[in-house]
């Protein structure tokens, strides 16, 4: 057993019995590298990563390969979900060193002072399909490190300078902020849209939620953007990205038609997609996505929420096959043979399943079927000569039987660590889903998750990033703060809680005091990914570009802009502007990579409408319903009962006027309209937006 047995990360614990002498990242391992002058072999992965498991089985569980690793290197294993700061730095280094995009497992070789000098991702144990074998690679890297120290030192200096320069784009003045990046992004979204299959680009195909969210925000500019978003979502919802049997979305599809996924399920993807589907329902003014929203929300509560309230991180792609024999296999839990399905269904149900789920077509995954939606109930009814009502009944029965049978299988592994940032994304998703569909259980679920974060992750005035079995640790990152804030803002729309708004402001103060970046003249240039009291690493990054998560600076620009208009606190507005000025260069050069930041830019140039309603507690639900059905996608509304505790800033001025049962205050930026006192008038005025 190595040094990982006392860690809380399930991913690290999976490697605790490897013959590799793994260390967690920390002073002990880094000091050992300095004392022995050995280079560091840094391996970064995560629990649900299929290729991480493959490399672990092929190499890290192999005693002879482990012996080489132990002889030549100080071996450090990192869970990228616990330490996104480390992952972010060395993914950037990998890009500079190899001119190739990174991924997981990330395999990097560092000098004892943490400077990277060589790297890659997955390596097979022996040469395969043009890839070097890991055994040969270990020997070559060790030889190179031993014989070329001066060259490595020179390379490190150049790499460090390049990485620093990549973080230091020249800021602009507030007068130079324009809508030009929004216009360019719109053109690029149209250009890169896959008009045949939806989404953007080719295989492997990811949802790219920030891009589709931006499409919904640009609808007033061009109705075509709504068509792009709806067409793309329809393909994802009906395709293999969506688990048609049990609910929840997979991480991405390996083909460009959204038919066959990579079978891992990530909490953050599902939180983002719940938000997107809810927003699309608002933009489309229909219940088009209510079914899939409700299926996803029920899956979240059933399979991803801990008894204490926090949301778990992920489900593995691999699981034991139905017969529970042999090694774990990707997709085994989710796919079917024809014989398995025939044994479950009646003849009439089988006819429905074959047409509805594409089971009468060739198997789409390793000789098995991964169900996708091929026909609507109406199409099914017409082909089978039955009523639509009968088709719906049969479809419901088929899905129930498949789900019940699947629950008897060996489930994929679940990473039960609770990450603050990802919980923030899911709190937002569940709150908006509950608000859109009327499912109070979703709002209650979001409430429980927020309560968990406040009770376990908020300690001594700062957020912690992760917990497992109730033990929280690691200082929070920018994403933890701003995504939790975003979740709270969504939840407050569903029902007001003064203590939650106070907590929101405490998080904002921590961001303002510990994450701000400045240039050499002292001007603000956005937010760092880590706080100023964080462990010192070789680079302190400022995230402006979206990756698997929306960029922290993009979320902050939108969240602090909204808080500015709600409270009147000028520092919030100053931060929004500083983020846009600091990120302007990369935003202008690559607008599609910064869709989250573009949302903040749009809100800065064209502030969303905000509505604050004060009324009696027994009328709050009626007013919330009015706001839900009348506000546009970007609008934000609060309904606050008269009995609420004292409110901060501008909110304190929003009171029910004398002689009125309710008063609604509507503003756009800091331009406010005359208060109104009845729901019909408010609906009319909101319809103007």
As a three-state string, the secondary structure of 571-592 is HHHHHHHHHHHHCHHHHHHCHH
User: The domain 10-166 belongs to what CATH superfamily?
Assistant: Glutaredoxin (3.40.30.10)
Q: CA-CA distance, 165 to 154, in Å (whole number)?
A: 17
Cα Rg, the chain, nearest whole Å: 26
List the strands of the sheet with 265-266, edge to edge. 265-266, 314-315, 414-415
Quickly state the pLDDT bin for 330 (edges 50, 70, 90): very high
Q: Give the pLDDT confidence score for residue 437 in this predicted structure.
A: 97
Which distant-in-sequence residues (6+ apart) come within 8 Å of 295 by Cβ?
Answer: 247
pLDDT band with cut points at 50, 70 and 90 for residue 479? very high
- The mean pLDDT of 609-634, rounded to a whole number, is 94
Has residue 575 got a pLDDT over 70? yes
pTM to 2 decimal places: 0.96
Distances (CA, A) of 480 to 282, 551, 555: 27, 11, 11
Sign of CA dihedral 369, 375, 378, 380: negative
* pLDDT score of 1: 67
Average pLDDT, the chain: 95
The 10s digit of each residue's pLDDT in 77-107 is 999 999 999 999 999 999 999 998 899 999 9
Q: Tell the CATH topology of 334-408.
A: Arc Repressor Mutant, subunit A (1.10.10)
Q: Higher pLDDT residue, 486 or 286? A: 486
Cα–Cα distances in Å, from 16 out to 43, 59, 139? 14, 14, 24
Q: Are 478 and 528 in contact (CB under 8 A)?
A: yes
* H or E element in which residue 613 lies: strand 609-615
* Confidence grade of residue 522 (pLDDT, cut at 50, 70, 90): confident
Which pair of structure tokens corresponds to residue 436?
A: 């859109």
The answer to whether domain 10-166 and domain 334-408 are alike in fold is no
322 has pLDDT over 90: no
Is residue 108 pLDDT above 80, yes or no? yes
**Cα distance between residue 52 and residue 326, in whole Å:** 19
CA–CA separation, 222 and 81 (whole Å): 38
The whole-angstrom separation of Cα 318 and Cα 50 is 7
Please give the average per-residue pLDDT across 24-29, as a whole number. 97
- Domain spans of the chain, in order of start: 10-166, 334-408, 609-686
Q: What is the pLDDT of residue 688?
A: 62
Query: Is residue 224 over pLDDT 90?
Result: yes
| pLDDT at residue 164, rounded to an integer | 86
State the pLDDT at residue 129.
Answer: 85
Q: For residue 605, how many other CB atoms are within 10 A of its CB?
A: 13
CA distance 373 to 257: 13
Q: What is the pLDDT of residue 294?
A: 99
pLDDT digits (tens, 9 = 90+) for 344-380: 999 999 999 999 999 999 999 999 999 999 999 999 9
**Half-sphere exposure in the Cβ direction for 391 (13 Å, CA):** 18
> How would you classify the pairing of strands 516-518 and 671-672?
unpaired
β-pairing, 74-79 vs 23-24, is: parallel
Give SS3 for 658.
coil
Secondary structure (3-state) at 609: strand
Helix 224-238 to helix 267-284 angle (10° resolution) is 130
- Predicted confidence (pLDDT) at residue 324 exceeds the cutoff of 70: no
Q: What is the pLDDT of residue 659?
A: 85
For the chain, report the end-to-end CA distance as a whole number of angstroms.
63
Question: Phi/psi at 527 (nearest 5 deg)?
Answer: -125, 140
Structure confidence at residue 282 (pLDDT): 95
Express each pLDDT in 144-199 by its tens digit. 999 998 999 999 999 999 988 887 677 888 889 999 999 999 999 999 999 999 99
Average confidence (pLDDT) over 288-305: 98
Cis? peptide before 410, omega within 30° of 0: no
The answer to whether the Cα torsion of 146, 150, 155, 157 is positive or negative is positive
Report the residue count for the chain: 689
Q: Is the pLDDT of residue 325 over 70?
A: no
For helices 267-284 and 209-217, give the axis angle rounded to 10 degrees. Answer: 20
């Amino acid at each position: 057993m190595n040094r990982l047995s006392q860690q809380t990360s399930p991913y690290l614990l999976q490697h605790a019995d490897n013959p590799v002498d793994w260390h967690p990242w920390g002073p002990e391992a880094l000091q050992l590298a300095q004392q022995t002058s050995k280079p560091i072999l840094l391996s970064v992965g995560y629990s649900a990563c299929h290729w991480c498991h493959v490399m672990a089985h092929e190499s890290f569980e192999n005693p002879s390969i482990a012996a080489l690793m132990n002889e030549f290197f100080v071996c450090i294993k990192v869970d990228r979900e616990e330490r996104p700061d480390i992952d972010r730095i060395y993914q950037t280094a990998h890009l500079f060193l190899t001119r190739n995009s990174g991924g997981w497992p990330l395999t990097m070789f560092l000098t004892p002072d943490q400077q990277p000098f060589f790297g890659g991702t997955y390596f097979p144990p022996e040469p395969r399909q043009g890839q070097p074998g890991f055994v040969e690679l270990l020997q070559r890297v060790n030889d190179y490190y031993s014989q070329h120290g001066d060259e490595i030192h020179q390379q490190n200096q150049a790499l460090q300078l390049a990485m620093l320069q990549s973080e230091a784009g020249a800021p602009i003045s507030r007068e130079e902020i324009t809508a030009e990046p929004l216009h360019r992004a719109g053109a690029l979204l149209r250009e890169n849209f896959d008009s045949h299959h939806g989404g953007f680009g080719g295989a492997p195909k990811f949802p790219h939620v920030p891009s589709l969210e931006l499409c919904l925000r640009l609808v007033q500019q061009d109705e075509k953007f709504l068509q792009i978003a709806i067409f793309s979502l329809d393909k994802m919802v009906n395709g293999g990205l969506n688990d048609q049997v049990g609910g929840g979305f997979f991480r991405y599809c390996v083909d460009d038609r959204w038919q066959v996924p990579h079978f891992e399920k990530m909490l953050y993807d599902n939180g983002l997609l719940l938000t997107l589907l809810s927003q699309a329902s608002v933009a489309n003014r229909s219940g088009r996505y209510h079914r899939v929203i409700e299926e996803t929300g029920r899956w979240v509560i059933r399979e991803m929420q801990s008894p204490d309230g926090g949301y778990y991180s992920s489900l593995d792609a691999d699981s034991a096959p139905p017969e529970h024999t042999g090694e774990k296999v990707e997709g085994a839990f989710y796919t079917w043979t024809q014989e398995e399905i025939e044994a479950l269904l009646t003849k009439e149900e089988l006819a429905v399943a074959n047409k509805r789920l594409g089971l009468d077509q060739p198997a789409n995954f390793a000789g098995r079927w991964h169900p996708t939606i091929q026909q609507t109930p109406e199409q099914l009814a017409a082909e089978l000569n039955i009523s639509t009502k009968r088709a719906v009944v049969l479809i419901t029965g088929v899905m129930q039987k498949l789900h019940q049978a699947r629950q008897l299988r060996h489930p994929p592994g679940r990473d039960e660590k609770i990450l603050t940032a990802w919980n923030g994304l899911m709190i937002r998703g569940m709150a908006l889903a509950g608000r859109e569909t009327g499912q109070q259980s979703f709002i209650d679920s979001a409430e429980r998750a927020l309560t968990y974060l406040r009770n376990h992750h908020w300690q001594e005035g700062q957020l912690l990033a992760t917990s497992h079995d109730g033990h929280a640790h690691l200082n929070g990152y920018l994403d933890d703060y701003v995504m939790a804030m975003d979740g709270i803002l969504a939840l407050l729309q569903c029902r007001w809680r003064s203590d939650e708004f106070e907590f929101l402001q405490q998080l904002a103060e921590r961001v303002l005091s510990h994450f701000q970046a400045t240039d050499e003249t002292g001007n603000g240039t956005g937010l760092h990914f880590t706080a100023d009291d964080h462990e010192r690493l070789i680079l302190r990054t400022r995230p402006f570009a979206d990756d698997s998560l929306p960029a922290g600076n993009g979320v902050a620009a939108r969240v602090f802009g909204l808080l500015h208009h709600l409270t009147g606190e000028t520092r919030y507005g100053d931060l929004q502007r500083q983020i846009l000025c600091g990120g302007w260069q990369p935003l202008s050069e690559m607008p599609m990579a910064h869709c989250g930041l573009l949302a903040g830019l749009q809100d800065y140039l064209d502030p969303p409408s905000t509505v604050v309603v004060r009324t009696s507690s027994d009328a709050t639900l009626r007013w919330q319903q009015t706001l839900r059905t009348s506000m546009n996608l970007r609008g934000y509304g609060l309904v606050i009962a008269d009995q609420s505790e004292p409110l901060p800033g501008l909110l304190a001025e929003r009171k029910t006027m004398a002689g009125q049962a309710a008063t609604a205050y509507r503003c756009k930026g800091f331009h406010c309209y005359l208060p109104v006192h009845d729901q019909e008038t408010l609906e009319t005025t909101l319809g103007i937006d």
